[in-house]
Amino acid sequence: MRNQPAAATASRPQARAADLTVRRRAGRRRSWLPYLTLLPASVLIASFVVFPVATVFYYSLQQYDVTRPYLNGFVGLDNFRQVLTSDDVFRTSLAVSVKWVGSEVVGQLVLGMILALVLNSAFRGRGLARSLLFSPWAVSGVVVTTMWKLLYNPFTGMLDTVLTRVGLIHAPIQWLSDLDTVFGAVVAAELWRGVPFFAIVLLAALQGIPTDLYEAAAVDGAGRWQAFTRVTLPLLKDAIILATLLRGVWEFNNVDLIYTMTAGGPGDLTTTLPLYVVNQAIRYHNFGYGSALSVVAFAVLLLFAVLYLRLGRFGRDD
């Protein structure tokens, strides 16, 4: 027993050392465990996002035409120089993109807000109305195109037939070939498809607003308009900013509906920047120049997203 303190004294450093070792091991395990768990996702992201994006940046510095390998090679910034200084279609397609995104996002926001407010109120058949109004969101762009092209058909389309019968027009309107109507016609088709997205997002946000806020506003003498502008809108701010940003990016990159409806025509009137990229890279086989256009489009979107979030003070309380 006399030896016990000595033994204890001797074993204490050993125990401390053992404890330290265990802790070190655990620490080491802790230090690589997060990386290990992140690895699968990182590999996927690197393979399917980083590598393709890096490839686009690489090809943007090349003349790369798959059918004319005798012209291929490094061209430095020539592609960018051409995009920014002498490509008229780039300028017009960028302008069409801005017009397209503006029309779609504003139109969808306003109509989506109206729909959400209506669907947020109680009325008989609300469930059915919700299902019907949200259904266009589930329809693919190509199907939307087919449907709207049938509606716009100047020979057999319902739109011209109805307008003629009610006496609003005397001759069929060529909706998709007339300079004055083609852009609006395509915007209308995409609005039909896109409005439900805003309605869903805004309806979800509306249902999260406590009713006692409206009761308090009513006690303070607020009418419906004041309740909307002072209670509803401020509380929907983050949802609106996020939805408009996402929709803005999606609409900027929208190709399916425009491509299948007008192929960017007539005469580039509905050619947006992504559609121009598709034409250059896929139809004209000019992958180098198409990549340079993609890099420029990427920069435009990045700038837009950063400015929009900063100016909108996203996530911050006013």
Q: Give contact residues for other proteins (rule: CB under 8 A).
A: 65-71, 89, 154-155, 172, 174, 176-179, 262-268, 271, 279, 282-286
38 vs 66, beta carbon nearer other proteins:
66
Q: In terms of CB distance, is 172 or 312 closer to other proteins?
A: 172
Shortest distance, position 254 Cβ to other proteins, whole Å: 19
Which lies closer to other proteins via its Cβ, residue 132 or residue 179? 179
Q: Which is nearer to other proteins, 43 or 71 (CB)?
A: 71
* Closer by beta carbon to other proteins, 252 or else 276: 276
Q: Which is nearer to other proteins, 107 or 265 (CB)?
A: 265
CB of 93 to other proteins, least distance (A): 11
98 vs 110: CA distance, rounded Å = 18
Min separation Cβ 157 and other proteins, Å: 10
